[in-house]
Amino acid sequence: MSVSETRKRALGRFLVIAIPFIWLGALFLAPFLIVAKISLSTAAVAIPPYEPLISWAEDGALVLTLHVGNYKLIFSDPVYLIAYASSLRNAAVTVVFTLLLGYPLAYFIATRRENWRAPLLLLVMLPFWTSFLIRIYAWIGILKPNGVINGVLIWLGLIDKPLMILNTNFAVAVGMVYGYLPFMVLPLYAHLEKMDWSLLEAARDLGAKPARVFREVTLPLSAPGIVAGSLLVFIPAVGEYIVPALLGGPDTLTIGATLWNEFFSNRDWPVASTVAVALIALLVAPLLALQHHRAKGVKTMSDKP
């Protein structure tokens, strides 16, 4: 192989590796650094509505001014702490119920004949063909006092007057589970479909009952899918704004609503940026810990004789 061909191959490998990093740097790292910069500033009546971090002093010196008061504020003000706790609770509830509903659905699809799997997966992904906002608006018609659920319950004689379902935490949970269920089903199906089914047959041949086969064989083999699906649901669910705003009512306090109010109502970009940076740190820290744990486990397995 000539030197020029070797260089071309090396350049090709470099581009293949560099393009994803450039993409992440331009669309994630750069915006994050801008938001982090704004979080260290103070609000101002200007365009943009915050003070610059770098300024010139009267003696011509370049002055860098960093304000950490915004971080002290969000960790001391109960409003922000309640918003974080409420968002984390909503996300955790969403993960639990999407897992309880999504696992049997993914298992059912993975155990069907191959010619049935694609149509069933299409039904799971079909809601993505409609606007998320329209789908959540539809739930308002289902959950409101004169909606479908209350109408059916009154017609059956189970209740005398409409239940207050809309503008409750239950309505928020229903909307979020409905919206994020496909994000749990697809990773679970991907892992279950690749599972070695002969291991389940071997366990049954050795006398294991179905519950034990599931607990000791199926569940451990599908654990990566559970982790992947839980992360895909939890991360966007923490910052969800549309579902709590429409189904939870105006008094529902979440991080998404807090960010909206600080950015657009109060026009306090530094505080809003601080809330966003803290939220990203809150989400990235567990991911880094999980990645470290996985890498440590892989290293331990490779070190075994």
- Report the alpha-carbon angle 190-193-197, nearest 5: 145
**How confident is the model at residue 28, as a pLDDT?**
85
Of 63-67, 94-98, 130-134, 163-167, the poorest mean pLDDT is in 63-67
Three-class SS state of 56? strand
Which superfamily does CATH assign the domain made up of 77-267 to? MetI-like (1.10.3720.10)
Q: Which amino acid is at 5?
A: E
Start-end of H helices in 25-68: 30-39
Q: How many CB atoms lie within 10 A of CB 73?
A: 15
101 neighbors 177 (Cβ within 8 angstroms):
yes
Mean pLDDT, the chain, integer? 85
pLDDT above 90 as % of the chain:
23
What contacts 55, CB < 8 A, 6 or more positions away? Answer: 62, 63, 65
The answer to whether the beta carbons of residues 201 and 179 sit under 8 Å apart is no
Q: At residue 284, does pLDDT exceed 70?
A: yes
Task: Give the pLDDT confidence score for residue 176 in this predicted structure.
Answer: 94
Q: CA-based diameter of the chain, in Å?
A: 86
pLDDT tier at 174 (50, 70, 90 boundaries)?
Answer: very high
Residue range 236-260: average pLDDT? 87
Helix, strand, coil fractions of the chain, as percent rounded to 5: 75, 5, 25
Structure confidence at residue 297 (pLDDT) = 52
Taking 50 as the threshold, does the pLDDT of residue 298 lie above it?
no
What 3-state class would DSSP assign to 10?
A: helix
pLDDT at residue 57 tops 80: no
Is-contact 274 70, C-beta < 8 A? yes
pLDDT at 300: 47
Average pLDDT for residues 63-77, to the nearest whole number? 86
Containing H/E element for 62?
Answer: strand 62-64
Instruction: Reply yes or no on whether the pLDDT at 59 is more than 80.
Output: no
76-90 pLDDT per residue, tens: 889 899 999 999 999
In this prediction, residue 201 carries a pLDDT of 81
Residue 106 in this model has a pLDDT that exceeds 90: yes
Residue 301: the pLDDT is 47
The pLDDT-based confidence of 2 (bands split at 50, 70, 90) is low
Reduced to 3 states (helix: H, G, I; strand: E, B; else coil), residue 103 is helix
Domain ranges of the chain: 77-267
User: Which has the minimum average pLDDT: 33-47, 90-104, 178-192, 276-290?
Assistant: 276-290
State the CB neighbour count (10 A cutoff) for residue 25.
12
Cβ-Cβ contacts under 8 Å for 62 (sequence gap 6 or more): 54, 55, 56
Instruction: Tell which residue, 110, 81, 93, has the closest CA to residue 243.
Output: 93
Confidence band, pLDDT 50/70/90 cuts, at residue 3? low
Cβ count near 101 (within 10 Å): 15
User: pTM for the full model?
Assistant: 0.84
Contact 56, 50 (CB under 8 A): no
